[in-house]
Structure 1
Amino acid sequence: MNKAINYVKETKAELKGVIWPSRRQTITYTLLVVGASLAVAVLLGFFDMISAYLLEKFVL
């Protein structure tokens, strides 16, 4: 039980030293991640379409 209490105290002390991002930074980084995720999804969808077309054309 003592280890658990010590862990919580150390975690609380560590969190006090964290420099949290501003609201603007958080929104900016979130939008960047969403945009990058959408770009990767479109790219993967494009490659999937091309590979499906090629498989259908030449293999099936």
Structure 2
Amino acid sequence: MNKIKQYFVDSFSELGKVTWPTKNQAVMLGLVVIGVCAIFAAIMGVLDYGFGFGMEELLKLAAQK
């Protein structure tokens, strides 16, 4: 039981040593994450549409033969 207590004491002690970001830094980093996710989602959407269109065209060509 003493080891568990010591673990939590040490954990909270280490959390006190952490340099936490300021509010402005946290907001800016959050906006960066949202922006990167939006760009990635747009790229994935374009790729999905392109591959879907390509597969439809290939299936149309295969059906004509």
**If the TM-score is normalised by the length of the shorter chain, which range does it land in?**
over 0.9
Amino acid at match of 2:40: V
What is the match of residue 20 of structure 1? 20
| Residue deviations 1:21-40 (CA, integer Å, cap 9, x gap) | 00000000000000000100
RMSD between superposed Cα atoms in Å: 0.8
CA distance in 2 between counterparts of 1:16 and 1:22 reads 15
Structure holding more helix per residue: 2
| Unaligned runs of at least 5 residues, structure 1 | none
Ranges of 4+ aligned residues in structure 1 off by more than 6 Å: none
Structure with bigger gyration radius: 2
Q: TM-score, normalised by structure 2?
A: 0.88
What is the match of residue 63 of structure 2? none
Identity %: 28
| Residue deviations 1:9-57 (CA, integer Å, cap 9, x gap) | 0001101100100000000000000000010000000000000000000
| 1:5-44 correspondence to structure 2 within 5 Å | 5-44=5-44
Aligned length: 60
Q: How far is the alpha carbon of 1:59 from its aligned partner?
A: 2.7
